[in-house]
């Protein structure tokens, strides 16, 4: 059974700047440097767009993973969705939503993931809730902090 969670980031960066930075392969790679993440196929630098894919290779939990994702929806500067087309998850969907609230920009990342069951469905659910979701939540927060630092005035996130 898939598990969903959301991470909300607030900043003074403009909706447009944050949206564009979120589609940047280069910013993504910089934010994931600790996992040695690389873009190895598809769009490997610059900005990705609707219908385009990228294959990522990284090391998480000491294991090398390869995952291909495609931008399946894009409404600049309000929303885009990337989804795994090949990789370690049974399913992986990441919706990025951007909106203005007064002088602030709010970015909401909603991830819906389903890990492999490895033959035991309850095991996959347990792994998702106890290990995978907390880990992914930290990665998204790390990525968002990098994006905000790259496009916003100093000290402008919460």
Ordered strands of the 53-60 beta sheet? 3-11, 104-114, 91-101, 79-86, 63-75, 53-60, 38-42
Read off the pTM: 0.90
Provide the CA 24 distance to its chain's centre, in angstroms.
11
pLDDT tens figures, 93-131: 999 999 999 999 999 999 999 887 666 566 666 677 778
Q: What per-residue confidence (pLDDT) applies to 44?
A: 96
What is the mean pLDDT for each group of 10 consecutive residues in the chain (158 residues)? 92 95 95 89 96 94 90 98 94 97 96 77 69 92 95 65
pLDDT score of 119: 60
């Amino acid at each position: 059974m898939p598990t969903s969670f959301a991470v909300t980031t607030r900043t003074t960066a403009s909706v447009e700047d944050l949206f564009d930075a979120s589609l940047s392969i280069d910013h993504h790679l910089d934010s994931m440097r600790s996992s040695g993440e690389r873009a190895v196929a598809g769009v490997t630098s610059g900005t990705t767009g609707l219908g385009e894919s990228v294959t990522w290779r990284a090391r998480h939990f000491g294991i090398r993973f390869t995952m291909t994702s495609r931008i399946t929806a894009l409404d600049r500067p309000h929303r885009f969705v990337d989804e795994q087309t090949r990789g370690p998850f049974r399913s992986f969907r990441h919706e990025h939503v951007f909106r203005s609230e007064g002088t602030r920009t709010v970015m909401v990342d909603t991830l819906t993931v389903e890990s492999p069951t490895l033959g035991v469905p309850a095991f996959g659910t347990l792994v998702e809730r106890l290990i995978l979701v907390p880990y992914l939540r930290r990665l998204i927060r790390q990525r968002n902090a990098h994006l905000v630092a790259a496009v916003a005035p100093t000290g402008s996130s919460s």
